[in-house]
Amino acid sequence: MCKIKIMLVFGTRPEAIKMCPLVKELKSRSDEFETIVCVTGQHREMLDQVLRVFNVVPDHDLSIMRPGQTLFDVTCDVLLKIKDVLESERPDGVLVHGDTTTSFAAALAAFYLQIPIGHVEAGLRTRDLYSPWPEEFNRQAVDVASRWYFAPTETSRQNLLDEAKPVEHIFVTGNTGIDALRTTVRDGYSHPELDWAAGSRLFLITAHRRENLGEPMHRMFRAIRRVMEEHPDTKAIYPIHMNPLVRKAAHEELDGFDRLRIIEPLEVVDFHNFMARSHLILTDSGGIQEEAPSLGKPVLVMRDNTERPEGVAAGTLRLVGTEETTIYREFSLLLDDRTAYESMSHASNPYGDGHASERIADVLAKEL
Ligand code: UD1
Ligand code: UDP
């Protein structure tokens, strides 16, 4: 039997976390699929961490990352470097994920070579091209070029239908991020940083969005520090993104406060287990908004809007924007009002049952 040749392209930490379960699934069906992994290396260390954890060895690595890379750098480097890989491999289909510039440029390249594209995590929308920026553009553009839409939820399916995408090419699969989460959270997990926080209410902090760099990020950190200074029974762990601009803002606002520890990015197994043991999460991340509802962990989302309304509807996520006074108020409320906290801390799984990769593989087997 002739195998279906699928190439998965990804380049950043969150894409890797959500594509590796699919790589594993396709590779486990080696009688049906020939699976090729191409990483762009848009992230380096943070991508390699994930590849190590999932034991995925790329067939191609475009190694594009450079310090302080601009959107022009990432787009042009991926587009030019992936051309030869696509031409030499000639896959039957290319899979890209979500909304990064890796995904946009890889989809554009596949489109130029007329190779059909499957969009994993299709149909998320804020309808504001500048928030998140440039991700809202990237995801809409990938959806313009795609043949198959793997929508994580009914809401994302509806978003695609609203744009007149063909109904027969939209498949609600759940989010592959939940597939990953099923394999990482363990009973009996321990870590020295968690030992340090034992006996305190533990917060987990992350921040990296391009539109929040600069003053918004300073405001976020100032609000967090003020609230924590007023609540001595709290500690925070902040595994910081490798972007030097994020590091500069964080150190300027948070250094010298010893109940908040800034540490290097955690491996995904550690991060998921830290989430499962935290009291509350403060973030502007996308993926964390999907993982937290499954774990029943309240999240204050430090953004003005979200493409993940399912978690807001489920009650686990609250949008608090990036103004210092609003974050201060909402964060304080959750610490001082037990009922408000408990109303947010119940588990639900709006993003699927952890079997999204199997569904995507089934669709590809049928369609190709
Ligand atoms: C990228 C994605 C964003 C995604 C985020 C996940 C785009 C435009 N942005 O944003 O959608 O939410 O990843 O984290 O696609 N760096 C390192 N080592 C690493 C990773 C980053 O040193 O392993 C530093 C480099 O200096 C790099 C900078 O961080 O230039 C920014 O990385 P980049 O991928 O351009 O942007 P992110 O903000 O990470
Ligand atoms: N994550 C991780 N280590 C960390 C911080 C986050 O493994 O130190 C994981 C987290 O569980 C989620 C993903 O990284 O799966 C989110 O990535 P990020 O916030 O960088 O990107 P986004 O989801 O906003 O695109």
Please list, in sequence order, all residues whose beta carbon lies within 8 angstroms of the beta carbon of residue 260, skipping any fewer than 6 positions away. 205, 224, 225, 228, 235, 236, 237, 238, 254
Give dist(CA 302, CA 171) in Å, integer.
Answer: 30
Its CATH architecture, for the domain 4-175+352-367, is 3-Layer(aba) Sandwich (3.40)
Q: What is the chain's alpha carbon radius of gyration, rounded to the nearest angstrom?
A: 20
DSSP structure string for 16-54: HHHHHHHHHHHHHTTTTEEEEEEE--SSSHHHHHHHHHH
pLDDT of res. 347: 87
Q: Quick one: tokens of 1?
A: 């039997």
pLDDT one digit per residue (tens) for the chain, 368 residues: 689 999 999 999 999 999 999 999 999 999 999 999 999 999 999 999 999 999 999 999 999 999 999 999 999 999 999 999 999 999 999 999 999 999 999 999 999 999 999 999 999 999 999 999 999 999 999 999 999 999 999 999 999 999 999 999 999 999 999 999 999 999 999 999 999 999 999 999 999 999 999 999 999 999 999 999 999 999 999 999 999 999 999 999 999 999 999 999 999 999 999 999 999 999 999 999 999 999 999 999 999 999 999 999 999 999 999 999 999 999 999 999 999 999 999 989 899 999 999 999 999 999 99
- Three-class SS of 183-251: HHCCCCCCCHHHHHHCCCEEEEECCCCHHHCCHHHHHHHHHHHHHHHHCCCEEEEEECCCCHHHHHHHH
Ligand 2 near 21 CB (within 6 A):
no
| Residues, the chain | 368
Q: Which residue has the least CA distance to atom 19 on ligand 2?
A: 285
Please list, in sequence order, all residues whose beta carbon lies within 8 angstroms of the beta carbon of residue 265, skipping any fewer than 6 positions away. 13, 45, 46, 49, 239, 240, 241, 242
Q: Which residues does a 6 A CB cutoff place in the pocket of ligand 1?
A: 12-14, 42-46, 67-69, 71, 74, 99-101, 134-135, 208, 210, 242-244, 286
pTM above 0.85, yes or no: yes
- Which one of 51, 61, 240, 243 would you pick to mutate in the ligand 1 pocket, going by the greatest count of ligand atoms within 8 A of its CB? 243
State the distance from the centre of ligand 1 to the C-alpha of 244, rounded, in angstroms. 10
Give dist(CA 76, CA 69) in Å, integer.
Answer: 11
* CATH topology assigned to domain 192-345: Rossmann fold (3.40.50)
Domain boundaries, the chain: 4-175+352-367, 192-345
